Structure 1
Amino acid sequence: MADILNAFVLLLNFVIIPAAAYGSQLALGALGVTLVYGILRFSNFAHGDTMAFGTMVTILVTWWLQGQGIGLGVLPTALLALPVAIGVTVLFVLLTDRWVYRYHRVHKAPPVVLLIASVGVMFLMNGIVRFIIGPGDQRFEDGERFIITASGFRDFTGLDEGLAFRTSQGLTIVTAIIVVAVLFWFLERTRTGKSMRAYSDNENLALLSGINPNRVVMLTWIIAATLATIAGTLYGLDKGFRPFTYFQLLLPIFAAAIVGGLGSPLGAIAGGFIVAFSEVMLTYAYRKFFAYLLPEAWEPEGLMQLLSTDYKFAVSFVILVVVLLIKPTGLFGGKTA
């Protein structure tokens, strides 16, 4: 029985909890992508670097607060900096819309033009982030690092395997639940949220109903920038901040949005967890896990790893291609055009 419990704790420690935290981060990122696509009708390739920009502002404000001796005790100081970062990122994104996207939107440019414009914005934001904070790794987590420590868990349970549950992982999961709940309440229960859904379903009918398109567009960018900043900050707290990493995150985020169905908020959440669990489960080395469950004579000699961690993002790419070939509208029937 002890071996079964050790195997379960091992899986919980290295697969289930990390995948749940990573899935929460991808889900928040994919929600921003799917909202922009559902309402503005184009794929925003700058979303990953919007996450990087928002996280950069969070780090800079966090460093200033730490320099002033201001903190939250056991919680990261970044939580205090997050509202400021959201405000700055929202302002930057709204200015980007005014100076870049609005012209093409007014002239009814095809979606591919807006997509190409977003690529330009992506490189611009990437350059700004690298210029201001540099291309290297940045750490900004303080406070208590662990909710549960491996040694404390072993002492309490008497098991050989220890369970380590980081504060950043707990914050990610709890914050994602709260943000998703608030977003769905906003979209489903408020008049403004209903007007955004109506605009997404049928733009011409929504305009005839008196819905202000400029207000809908502005709110879409505000929500997308807020989600990007929260997702980026949580990812940075959990795994560290490096600008190029957020550029790479664009692939799993889009894979998550497309798996669930572009334009479907519920699909974005489901897709985030599908992609995250797929990546973690396929790149985990199961040797020790099976060593607990199998007789000693059958203990595996190799790592029992299906893919190296270097190919983690390849899993997202394969999932993306398979879904596009088999069910382009995604699991929840999103928009295709």
Structure 2
Amino acid sequence: MIDLLNAIVALANFVIVPAIAYGSQLALGALGVTLIYGILRFSNFAHGDTMAFGAMVTILATWGLQSLGVNLGIFPTALLALPIGIAGTALLVLATDKMVYQFYREQKAAPVILVIVSMGVMFIMNGLVRFIIGPDDQRFADGARFIITARDFKELTGLEEGLAIKSTAALTVVVAIIVVMLLFWFLNNTRTGKSMRAFSDNEDLALLSGINPERVVMITWIIVAALATTAGVLYGLDKSFKPFTYFQLLLPIFASAIVGGLGNPLGAIAGGFVIAFSEVTVTYAFKKVAGYLLPEAWEPDSLVQLLSTDYKFAVSFAILVIVLLFKPTGLFSGKAL
């Protein structure tokens, strides 16, 4: 029984808790992608670098607050700087829409054209972020590091295996839940949210109903900026901030949106956790867990790892290909590509 409990704790420590935090971050990122696709009808390849830009602005604001001696005690100072990051990112995406996307929208350009344009925007944003803050890792998390440490858990339970829960992982889950609840309340209970949903379902009918398309576009970009910045900051707090990492996150974020059902907000959340648990589980070395569960004579000598962590994005790619081949509308029947 003790060995079973140790195995469960080891699994929670290295698979369940990290996957829940990572899944929350992917879900927020995928929500931004699915809103753009559902309302503006194109796949925004610049979303990962939008996250990087929002995180960068938040980091700069955090450093400014820290230099003034402002902090939140046990909580990261970045929470105070987050509204500044959201505002800066909203200004950037609105300016980008005005200078770039609006022209192609007025020309009724094919979605593939907007995809190509968004790739150009992606490279510009990526270069801008690296020019301003540099290409290296930037750590900006302060406050309490752990809710519970492995040592405290061992002393509390008497188990051999310890469970450590980082405060940033817990914060990620709590903030993600609050943001998702606010988003769904906004989309379902406000006049603007209902206008956005109507515009997404049938653009022509929405226009005949008197809905202002430019207002819908503006609100959509502001919400996407808030989601991207929040996701980028939470990922940076939980791990570290490096501009190129957000470029790499584009694959699992798009995989999350497509697996759940592109254009379906609920699907984006589910897809985020599917991708996160798949990546973490497939790349985890189960030797320790197997050592607790199996008889001593059967304990494995190898790591019992299906894939190295270097190949975790390959898991996202494989799942993405499988879904596109067999169920292109995703788990929650979103819009097919």
Determine if the TM-score, normalized by the shorter chain, exceeds 0.5. yes
Q: For 1:85 and 1:199, locate their aligned partners in 2 and report how far apart those are by CA, in whole Å.
A: 28
Q: Partner residue of 1:199?
A: 199
Residues 22-61 of structure 1, C-alpha deviations (whole Å, 9 max, x = no match): 0000000000000000000000000000000000001101
Q: With the length of structure 2 as denominator, give the TM-score of the two structures.
A: 0.99
The Cα of 1:80 is off from its aligned counterpart by 0.5
* Residue type of the alignment partner of 1:196: M
Q: Alignment partner of 1:333: what SS? A: coil
SS in 2 for 1:34: helix
Cα distance between partner residues in 1 of 2:308 and 2:226: 34
Identify the residue that residue 230 of structure 2 maps to in structure 1: 230
Instruction: Supply the distance in 1 between the matched residues of 2:157 and 2:333 (Cα, whole angstroms).
Output: 46
Structural mapping, 1:128-139, within 5 Å: 128-139=128-139
The separation in 2 between residues aligned to 1:260 and 1:288, in whole angstroms, is 32
Q: Distance in 2 between matches of 1:40 and 1:10?
A: 44
* Corresponding residue number in structure 1 for 2:16: 16
Q: In the alignment, does 2:263 pair up with 1:256? A: no
Question: Hey, what's the Cα distance between the residues in 1 that align with 2:303 and 2:260?
Answer: 32
The 5-angstrom pairing of residues 59-98 of structure 1 reads: 59-98=59-98
1:103 Cα offset (Å): 0.3
1:29 maps to what in 2? 29
Cα deviation, 1:227-283, whole Å, max 9, x if unaligned, reads 000000000000100000000000000000000111000000000000000000000
Moved over 3 A (4+): none
Residue aligning to 2:165: 165
Q: Determine the C-alpha separation between the residues in 1 that align with 2:336 and 2:326.
A: 13
**In structure 2, C-alpha distance between the alignment counterparts of 1:186 and 1:137, rounded to whole Å:** 35
Equivalent AA in structure 2 for residue 98 of structure 1: K
1: CA distance, partners of 2:193 / 2:305: 45
CA distance in 2: counterparts of 1:221 and 1:262, whole angstroms: 17
What's 1:243 paired with? Answer: 243
**Aligned match of 1:146:** 146
Residue identity over aligned pairs, in percent, reads 74
Over the residues paired in the alignment, what is the CA RMSD in angstroms? 0.5
Q: Distance in 2 between matches of 1:222 and 1:17?
A: 31
**Distance in 2 between residues matched to 1:64 and 1:195, nearest whole Å:** 39
Counterpart AA for 2:66: Q
Letter in 1 for 2:52: A
Q: d(CA) in 1 for partners of 2:297 and 2:77?
A: 51
1:189 deviates by 1.2
Partner letter of residue 217 of structure 2? Answer: V
Using the alignment, how far apart are the partners of 1:293 and 1:110 within structure 2? Answer: 56
- What is the alpha-carbon distance in structure 2 between the residues aligned to residue 132 and residue 196 of structure 1? 34
Q: CA deviation at 1:216?
A: 0.4
For residue 332 of structure 1, give the secondary structure of its aligned residue in structure 2: coil
Q: Which amino acid aligns with 1:155?
A: E
**Does residue 280 of structure 1 match 2:260?**
no
The equivalent residue for 1:180 is: 180
1:147 aligns to what SS in structure 2? Answer: strand
Matched, 1:99 2:99: yes
**Distance in 2 (alpha carbons) for counterparts of 1:254 and 1:288:** 33
What's the counterpart of residue 121 of structure 1?
121
Range 310-319 or range 186-195, more displaced: 186-195
Q: Which runs of 5+ in 1 are unaligned?
A: none
Residue 24 of structure 2 corresponds to residue 46 of structure 1: no
Choose 180-189 or 25-34, whichever is displaced more.
180-189
- Counterpart residue type for residue 231 of structure 1: A
Secondary structure of 1:79's counterpart equals helix
1:190 shift after superposition: 1.2
The offset of 1:285, in angstroms, is 0.2
Could you report, residue by residue, the CA deviation over 1:91-142 in whole angstroms, capped at 9, with x for unpaired residues? 0100000000000001101001111110011001000000000000000000
Deviation, 1:323, is 0.3
Q: Secondary structure at the match of 1:76?
A: coil
Per-residue deviation, 1:198: 0.5
Deviation at 1:191, TM superposition (A): 1.3
**Deviations along 1:152-191, whole A, 9 cap, x unmatched?**
0011111011110001000000001010011011111111
> Residues of 2 paired with 1:243 and 1:306: CA distance?
29
